[in-house]
Amino acid sequence: MTTILVGDGGRVVIPAAVRRRAGLSAGTVLYLLETPVGLVLMKRDQLRDHVRAQLAGLDLVSELLAERRFAADAEDTTSG
């Protein structure tokens, strides 16, 4: 854990040792993820892996189809 300060204009300086360990260099894009427990900075590949882990095991296509069928059934009931 590293303590950092928010400076003028909301700027945050990431210490050199942390940048080195994380492989950050000038121009590296970081994503600020707001979570229920706090803020998390991630590189693009870290965010991608995080989202994939969150979606693992979900069958989004089946869920979407079920929602569409439900909506269509509801429409048929109200229009018929």
The three-class DSSP label of residue 32 is: strand
> For 45-62, what is each residue's pLDDT tens digit?
999 998 888 888 777 778
Q: Write b or e for each residue in 7-44: b if 16 or more Cβ atoms lie within 10 A of its Cβ, otherwise e.
A: eeeeeeeeeeeeeeeeebeeeeeeeeeeeeeeeeebee
Angle at 25 between CA 19 and CA 31, to 5 degrees: 80
**Paired tokens of 44:** 């693009």
Q: Give pLDDT tens digits for 10-29.
A: 999 999 999 999 999 999 99
